[in-house]
Every structure is written in C-alpha cells, then in structure tokens.
Amino acid sequence: MTLPRQFLLKGKKWRVSLRKVVDRDDDACNGLCAYDERKILIRKGMSEAETLSTFLHELVHATLHEAHLAPNSGVSVETEEIICDAVADMMTNCFHMKWRRRRG
Ligand SMILES: [Zn+2]
C-alpha cells in the first residue's frame, strides 16, 4: 500500500510520514496527528490493514482539527477517539469491500 506523501485538507497542505512514532509520553504508538506541523505520522512496518486503518484514524483527527472541532473545542478526547475509530472502521470496511469485489 502506498499512502499519499501529502494531501490538501480545506486548502491546507498536510504531510504524511512513515516512521517510528512515539506519543507525548515517549511511548511507541501506531499513529499520531501533529496538528501544529500539519503532519500525520504512521508507524513503519505495520501490515497493510493496520497502516490503512491507522492512516484513516489520523486523517479523521486532521479533518476534525481543520473543522475546528478538535482538539480543545469541547469534544472530549474520549469522544474524539470514538469518532476517529468509527469513521476509520467504516472507511476501512468500504475499501476492503471494493478490494474483494475486484478479486471476486
Ligand atoms: Zn486517535
């Protein structure tokens, strides 16, 4: 799978980087949305399914950020994570269905 290296979101350029990813506590994680730098970081070496799911999850974070809905807008971190997981799962399933249809 090839992720886009960059994309536009509401006219703003975001970059995507595959690498080792750590959170604020320096713990390894699968993905991170660096709002200030407009960067999505994805852990290198995951399966295609994990990479896609993580990228879509972080893409929802970026979308919420550009819509001024997160972070720090009254939506709790827990709610934001639920939204990101739900949309990423839905989109992942759509991509998988399309992939299966092409092969079947
Ligand atoms: Zn998240």
Measured in Å, residue 84 CA sits from the centre of ligand 1 at 6
Q: Which alpha helices (DSSP H) does the chain contain, by range?
A: 48-66, 77-103
What spatial distance separates the first Cα and last Cα of the chain, rounded to whole Å? 20
User: How far does the centroid of ligand 1 lie from the alpha carbon of residue 35, in Å?
Assistant: 12
What is the tens place of the pLDDT at every residue in 22-39? 988 999 999 999 999 999
- The pLDDT value recorded for residue 98 is 57
Residue 47 has pLDDT above 80, yes or no: yes
pLDDT the model gives residue 21: 93
Q: From ligand 1's centre to the CA of 19, what distance in Å?
A: 17
Residue 52: alpha-carbon gap to chain centroid? 8
Distance between CA atoms of residues 72 and 90, nearest Å = 25
Place of tokens 């852990």: 43
